[in-house]
């Protein structure tokens, strides 16, 4: 049996946010447009005509100058994050970066406006006294810097939380796969022990029958190897495994156990866990043939019921009825496997009443691909 598949785990550490620069360009453009509308409509409201071009120039240069300096904030945030309590040692660096940002922003505003304003026929641009202008712009730039650094910090935290969720989901999936492997390992030796015990009991009395059973056991083991890496096989494949098991039941109990299988053809391609039916039927055989000279009839009925696959296994019981909720290896392991594979969508119920023992299994009805047989596999027993 191979080891459970392990998945690559995302780095649970802190990762810097990924920047989509096209989106950043659109957002800075939108911010400039909204500021233009605010100031221009304020001029219109106050009755100041002729400010359309000036306002458009001021707010567009303000937005795109901030966009040109945005990589500075990104680089500083990546090297000196503010999340997870790191702001205490990072804030001096950000304070210095803010000083560079506001000085660069004001300088870009002055140069771009002085160059563009005459080109559009409006003469020289008056930006006022630059020392005062640097101080004035710094008051607004501190808000811009804090907002942009805050957005980057928020994106970093969101990335960290997403990585944690993915890591937790991956670990949970791997743990569930490992648990399923353990449960499968519990089932197969249990079945193998019973099969070998049956062969041992017939090898002296009927060597030909024992030889046939050894071949059938080889078929079963081959099927187990073929399905070892799959969590689901088709119902048809599972029924073939069940038929091979029933040959051991017939060899062991003869006419004392009579089994009837009624599976709807529409369910043939539905997926079921490997070795689902065998332990349930074995449970019915044990309960039904517990008495030394008792006989039992076992009915296996499989239907597609809406979005579920419904499996009913019922057997007659000679003598006292068993405890329906006493789960041995077969029932208990099967119930655990169903819960891990399908969660609340699957169920296994056992009822003992009116001289019969009934086990009902429901699981989601979904088609799965069949395993392609290896060339010559059907002749393996003949080559033994």
CA distance 259 to 288: 11
CA 307 and chain centroid, separation = 22
pLDDT in tens, 284-339: 887 666 555 567 889 999 999 888 999 999 988 766 555 554 545 567 778 887 88
3-state secondary structure 205-221: CCHHHHHHHHHHHHHHH
Q: What is the pTM of this model?
A: 0.51
* Residue range(s) occupied by CATH 3.30.565.10 in the chain: 203-369
CB-CB contact of 54 with 126 (8 Å):
no
- Of the CA atoms within 13 Å of residue 258, those in its CB half-sphere come to 6
50 is written with which tokens? 């002729």
E strands present in 282-355:
296-305, 308-316, 347-353
**How many CB atoms neighbour CB 238 within 10 A?**
24
Residues 6+ positions from 153 with CB-CB distance below 8 Å:
77, 81, 82, 83
Q: Architecture of 203-369 per CATH?
A: 2-Layer Sandwich (3.30)
Positions in the chain whose pLDDT score sits under 70 = 1-14, 170-191, 223-229, 287-294, 318-330, 371-384
From residue 247, alpha-carbon distances to 72, 195, 220, 275, 311 in Å are: 76, 10, 11, 16, 21
φ, ψ at 321 (rounded to 5°): -75, 140
pLDDT at 185: 47
Among 62, 221, 238, 219, residue whose Cα is nearest residue 144: 62
């Amino acid at each position: 049996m191979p080891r459970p598949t392990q998945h690559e785990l995302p780095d649970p550490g802190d990762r810097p946010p990924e920047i989509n620069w096209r989106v950043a360009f659109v957002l800075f453009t939108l911010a400039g447009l909204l500021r233009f509308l605010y100031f221009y409509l304020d001029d219109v409201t106050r009755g100041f005509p002729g400010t359309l071009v000036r306002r458009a120039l001021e707010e567009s240069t303000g937005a795109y100058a901030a966009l040109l300096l945005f990589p500075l904030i990104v680089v500083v945030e990546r090297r000196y994050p503010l999340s997870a309590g790191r702001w205490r040692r990072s804030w001096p660096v950000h304070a210095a970066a803010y000083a560079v940002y506001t000085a660069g922003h004001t300088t870009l505003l002055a140069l771009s406006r002085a160059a563009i304003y005459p080109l559009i026929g409006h003469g020289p641009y008056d930006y006022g006294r630059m020392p005062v202008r640097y101080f004035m712009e710094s008051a607004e730039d501190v808000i811009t810097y804090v907002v942009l650094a805050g957005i980057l910090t928020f994106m970093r935290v969101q990335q960290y939380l997403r990585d944690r969720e993915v890591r937790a989901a991956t670990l949970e999936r791997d743990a569930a796969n490992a648990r399923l492997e353990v449960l499968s390992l519990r089932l197969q030796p249990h079945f193998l022990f019973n099969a070998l015990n049956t062969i041992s009991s017939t090898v002296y009395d009927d060597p030909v029958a024992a030889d046939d059973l050894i071949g059938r056991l080889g078929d079963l083991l081959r099927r187990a190897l073929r399905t070892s890496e799959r969590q689901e096989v088709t119902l048809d494949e599972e029924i073939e495994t069940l038929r091979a098991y029933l040959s051991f039941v017939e060899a062991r109990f003869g006419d004392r156990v009579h089994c009837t299988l009624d599976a709807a053809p529409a369910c043939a391609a539905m997926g079921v866990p490997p070795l689902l039916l065998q332990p349930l039927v074995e449970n019915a055989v044990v309960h039904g043939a517990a008495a030394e000279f008792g006989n039992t009839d076992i009915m296996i009925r499989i239907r597609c019921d809406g979005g579920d696959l419904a499996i009913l296994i019922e057997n007659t019981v000679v003598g006292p009825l068993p405890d329906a909720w006493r789960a041995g290896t077969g029932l208990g392991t099967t119930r655990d496997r169903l819960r891990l594979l399908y969660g609340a969508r699957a169920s296994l119920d056992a009822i003992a009443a009116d001289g019969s023992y009934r086990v009902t299994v429901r699981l989601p009805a979904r088609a799965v691909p069949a395993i392609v047989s290896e060339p010559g596999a059907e002749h393996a027993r003949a080559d033994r």
